[in-house]
Amino acid sequence: MANTQEHSFEDLKEHATKAARLLKTLASESRLMILCALETKEYSVTELHQQIGLSQSALSQHLATLRREGMVKTRRESQVIFYSLAQHNTTRIIEVLSDLYCPTPEIIENA
């Protein structure tokens, strides 16, 4: 039985490490804004720059971090690179955060 418990604690530690890494990546207002924008559709870097208002260099750094962590993916069309959410887990997390912190117009009207 000790082996089963040890194994489960090792699994727990591994999952906790992955979750902490994910939360660390999300712990940036700019990266959250990027992910929330990508929740509904893909955007080019230029479109994200216009939507979010970050400098090109800051936006590129945040997108590189999100790519490295596997949270966004790219698609190239000619010279333009489009970004979208990459993982089902990322989509689920952004949906929950959006539900909690981004009220819909209906909710605002009924408040």
Q: What domains can be seen in the chain, in order of their start residue?
A: 29-103 (1.10.10.10)
Read off φ and ψ for residue 55, nearest 5 degrees: -65, 155
In which residue are the tokens 């009220």 written?
A: 103
Residue percentage of the chain with pLDDT more than 90: 59
- The span from the CA of 53 to the CA of 89, in Å, is 26
* Count of other CB atoms within 10 angstroms of residue 67: 14
DSSP state of 85: E
Instruction: Tell me what the mean pLDDT of segment 70-79 comes to.
Output: 95
Read off φ and ψ for residue 48, nearest 5 degrees: -60, -40
The predicted-structure confidence for 1-35, as pLDDT tens digits, reads as follows: 445 555 688 888 888 998 899 899 999 999 999 99
pLDDT at 45: 94
| Mean pLDDT for all residues in the chain | 86
Q: What's the whole-model pTM score?
A: 0.78
